[in-house]
Each structure stands twice: as structure tokens, then as C-alpha cells.
A and B are shown apart, each in its own frame.
Chain A
Amino acid sequence: MTGAIEVLRAGPLTTVQDLGRPGFAHLGVPRAGALDGPALRAANRLVANPDDAAGLEVTVGGCRLRLRDARTVAVTGAPASVTVDGQPVGYGVPVRVPAGSVLTLGPARQGVRTYLAISGGIAVPAVLGSRSTDTLSGLGPPPLRDGDVLPLGQPHPVPSTVDRVEWRAPGPEIRLRIRLGPRDDWFTDEAIRTLCGTPYTLSPMSNRVGARLTGAALGRRRAGELEPEGLVLGAVQVPADGQPLVFLADHPTTGGYPVVAVVDAADLPALAQARPGATVTFHGPQR
């Protein structure tokens, strides 16, 4: 018999995430998947799961779960206290949890998104090849609620060869490397200089769809509306108010505001872990 977890306290926003749902953007299906992909991969490796196993993305507030059978778990991403039946256990290391024990993740001490991998993975039914919750379209399992029971898969028989991962805290300033385009020609030269030369502040309106920024407005050279076109992860879209927005995993597949630049995918996990109020700077351009 395979196991399960019972959700005793879901927290403000806890979702099931794997590496996402690529391949269906032409049908309007967002990619979804863990916002801090390296953290989820690390957690999976600690418990000997494949990289694409589903874990939990726990947003800021922690959560509490009961494991119905004995499993190995690992916590990565935003650092938080981890306890098993009230006893502190390690962060970033594999932890053996006995059957029936209660696992509690405290609020994130730094960062925003804590990842929990459980050996065998969360085994809710895959939707279009992924178990990820997509907060934009509603595909995949809904965000966790108190009282939910989530099935687990079969653990891998061979123990993990990874025994520890560290949290790399983002610095006081989130540096995003960009490549200009595809619609940089819709903006004034001054707007491009402003984008690359002035700091922006991460807005509390940010979510899994995008990181909203506030700061100097980016002025347009061209008026009018752009006909809808495909969007990529990390696209820096500039709506009518001139305030840039960096698209994250649950972004829409097409959009009608011009994209001035695209952020290097390697810099997006740090952005996803930055707290509202953080300073964000753009660095480029490269063509």
C-alpha cells in the first residue's frame, strides 16, 4: 500500500509543484512548476526522488502535516524551522520521519518559498503531464486546504547520495541580467537607460504569475496596442502604467503589452525568493 500525508494546517499558500507543464502553450496552458526550481530539485535529490517528482511549495507561512507511513523528507529553499513531533530536525538534510508523526514547517526566516520533498513524491493525478498547481488557470490540484489527504508514490529503494544542501541567501539587491527585446523598439532610449540604470522595488502585489515592480515608469516611443503574441518565462512586460512586471511560472501564454527585455532564467529563483520591498536592478543590455 502506498502512503499519504494529511494536511493539518495548510498555511497561507501551499501548492503541489514539480517541474511544470511544458508543451501546451499553443493551447493557452501556462507552464507552472516550482518558482525556485533548483531548490525543489535539491530537495528531491536529498530524498532520492527523480528531479521531476512533485513536492510542496510552501509560501512564507509554514504548514503542518501528518505522515501516515514512514518516509524520508527534506526541506530546502526559504529557511524555516523544521520539527518532527515537536523536536527540531535539520534543514537541507534528509530526515527520517516515523509513521504517524507530525511534521511542522515554521514561517520562512528569510526568502518566500520553502520546498518540502517526501520520498516517493506527492502522487496526486498528473494533469497534462504535471502535478503542478497552476494558480492562473486552475489546472492541477487546488492549493492545499486543512484536512486534505495527498497520496504519496513509492519511495526509491536506493538511498540518496546527496547529504546536504545550503541556502544561498539573496543579497540586499536582486540583480537581474537581461537581454533586450523583443519589443525594446516600442520604448524610448531614455526608458531603456532608466530600466538598466535605476533601482526598482518588488511590490507586495507579486505572485506566482509575476513579480510586479514599482519605480520609474518606462515611456513608450510607440502608442497603440500590440497584437497578442507569445510570452516566455522571465519576460519583462510593461503595461500601460509603465511599471515593469517580470513573468514567473504561472504567466499567461500570450499577451498584448510590449515585452522590453527578458531576464536570464538563472536569475529568476532569486527573484522568486525576494520579499516585497526588496531592491531589484536590471543589468544589460546584451543582444
Chain B
Amino acid sequence: MRDDGPVRVRQVGASALLVEVDDPRAWFAELWRRREAGEAVASEIVPGARTVLLDGVPDPAALAARLPGWAPRAGAAADSGGLVEVPVTYGGPDLADVADLWGTCERGVIERLTRTEFRVAFCGFAPGFAYLAGLPPELAVPRLPAPRPAVPAGSVGLAGGYAGIYPTASPGGWRLVGRTTVRLFDVDRDPPALLPPGTRVRLVEAPS
């Protein structure tokens, strides 16, 4: 384990490292770039909310020693990442509850969401499920007390400080505020996820 200023590296088993950093999105982009350049070997680079996991690393100790020198420049991630506009038909079953939690009306929720530029912080839960960061902490909403047994594909939900879109039908506890018809995950597309980490996302109102 190392503790070098803003970068803390934790060993994970025999062949992985968990890098705790202030800006996982910038670190993810930087580590991806260095792997492409042949400077690092890892089978997986997985961003989290506060971390980046490097898995399938042949020599974790050697890589851990080099990581503190690889800090991305401040704001490096701010000007990168493509922009994807996702057309959303607002009006999910929890829109009124979210409006109450936010102390506004349903229209107020929609306006807030449509004018927010989100960023994919990380993926998880299901292939193509992107955790969209960008709402201020005071607008974080709790998950439903009990998850719904079936949430339709394309449902747009809120939980914690994140927004997310269900790529496929599944159980789920996010508060649903709308639907989209865009395909979030397609194995025949490269990359298969519409919203990989780092992507800028706008949840625009679909034309009615």
C-alpha cells in the first residue's frame, strides 16, 4: 500500500490495484491512454465513484510504484469526452415524489434535468448502465425502500446523486422520472455501450 499525496494505491488480491483518487474520470482516461501507449499492462481498467481499478496486472508492485507520477493534469477530463443527447419522455411513476423531495413541481424537475450536463462517472449494475454525475449533492434522492420487481428498458431514474437509464428490463430501486427509446447497449456496436465512462450526456426532452 502507498500513500503519496492525492493518490492512494491499494493492492487487490494478487493481480489488481485499486487507485483512490480525487478525479477518477481523469485518471481513467489517463490510465487508458497509457495502456494504449504500452506503458501499463492491465486486462481491465474500471472506474468507480472514487477509485479506478486496474485488474489483470502482471506486476502490481511495479505498477503501483509508477502510478503517483502519472497524475493527469488538473481539469484534463473537462474538455474531453463526446456529447450524447438522449431524448427522454418525462413523466415516470416517481416524478411527483422527486418533485416533493426537491421542493419543486414536476416541471421544475424536468427543467433541472434537461439543463444539467451529465458525465458518465462509471458503469455497473448491467452492461451499458451508466452512472450519470452532475446533480448537486443537495438533490440526491434515496432509492425506493423496496426495489420494483420489473423496471422497463429505457427507464430513466434517479438514486443517490446519480441519474441512470436501464438498458434492459430488470428489477430496480431507482426513482423513475421518464423513458427513452434509445438503445444503450448493442453488442454489434463499437463500443457496445452508448454511454462509456467520460461521455457528456444531456437528457433532452423528446419531441411529443
Q: Which residues from chain A sit less than 8 Å from chain B, CB to CB?
A: 22-29, 127-128, 137-139, 179, 181-182, 227-232, 234-235, 252-255, 259, 262-265, 287
Contact = CB atoms under 8 A, between A and B. Distances in A.
Q: Considering residues A22, A182, A287, which has the most beta carbons from chain B within 10 angstroms of its beta carbon?
A: A182
Interface of B: 1, 10-16, 18, 28, 43-53, 55-56, 122-129, 131, 168, 185, 187, 191-193, 196-197
Given A25-B46, A27-B123, 9 more contacts: A26-B46, A27-B192, A179-B13, A227-B48, A227-B49, A228-B124, A230-B48, A230-B53, A231-B53
Contact of B197 (A23, A26, A127, A182): A26
Contact of B46 (A179, A234, A253): A253
Nearest to B24: A229
A23 B44 contact: yes
Contacts, number: 114
A225 to B, nearest CB: 9
Contacts of B47: 26, 230
B128 A229 contact: no
Given A139-B187, A179-B11, A228-B124, A26 B44 contact: yes
A78 B13 CA distance: 27
Contacts of A128: 187, 192
Given A25-B44, A181-B10, A232-B16, A127 B123 contact: no
A234 B128 CA distance: 23
A232 B54 CA distance: 9
Contacts of A22: 43-44, 56
B44 A287 contact: no
Given A27-B128, A227-B49, A138 B168 contact: yes
